[in-house]
Amino acid sequence: MTYLKEFKGAVSRTKKLGLGDVTVNETAVVLDQAVLNAIEATGHIPFRQRAVQGLNVNFGMFHMLAKKFHIPGGVLTMGNVAVNGEMRFPVTPAHFRKMVENESGEDALGTYHIWTTLPGGLILDHVLPSILAGDGLLEVDEAVPSERYLYGPADELPHGITYHPMVAGLEFLIASGTVDREAMEYLMGEKFPKQYKG
């Protein structure tokens, strides 16, 4: 099954949970290498620490993509990642439904993976390389910005990596009790981008 088909399934599950109707354009918007490197350069969490701060890192990069660099169409996506067919996070769609029902998202951090889906089914992930490097599955030259993140068509990623989306969109983080609604509205609202100027 292609990534975009799995993503559509995640969108359908998200809608059934009453968490909005998320879409991703099927026409790819390819990001310029200079923009990707600039996004990477704005991250303040050291590469080796990213593996244990997945939400902070990938939400922060998603936020910069949308608010600082004004790249439209990205969708924060939650689910599982496999390396050579081995799932790294033992979660199912029911896991996410329970997080919403029990508002237990904050306690469940680290049980699933979070990344950005870009138009055309491209993946942007600033955390997985840190996880795989820490496990000895990937060699990363930390001095090279493009090695510290993963970017590319989801169905053509290197190292046997496949992404398996289960829910999508910011509303999941609010409904699951992971991020407070007021904080999210501030972060994604019109006032916050001013902090990027100057």
Q: Report yes or no on 59 lying in a domain.
A: yes
pLDDT at position 21 = 86
pLDDT at position 44 = 82
- How many structural domains are present in the chain? 1
Which tens digits make up the pLDDT trace of 167-184? 999 999 999 999 998 888
Q: Report yes or no on 154 lying in a domain.
A: yes
pLDDT at position 187 = 84
Residues of the chain with pLDDT under 50: 198
Asked if 184 contacts 169 with a C-beta cutoff of 8 angstroms, the reply is no
pLDDT at position 70 = 87
Q: Report yes or no on 145 lying in a domain.
A: yes
Q: Report yes or no on 170 lying in a domain.
A: yes
Instruction: Tell me the residue range of the domain where 181 lies.
Output: 3-193
pTM (two decimals) = 0.93
Q: Report yes or no on 198 lying in a domain.
A: no
pLDDT at position 198 = 41
Q: Report yes or no on 158 lying in a domain.
A: yes
Q: Report yes or no on 144 lying in a domain.
A: yes
Asked if 121 contacts 153 with a C-beta cutoff of 8 angstroms, the reply is yes
Query: How far apart, in Å, are the Cα atoms of 20 and each of 49, 150, 160, 190?
Result: 32, 27, 32, 20
Q: Report yes or no on 130 lying in a domain.
A: yes
Could you tell me if residue 70 is left (phi over 0), alpha (psi between -120 and 50 degrees) or otherwise beta? left
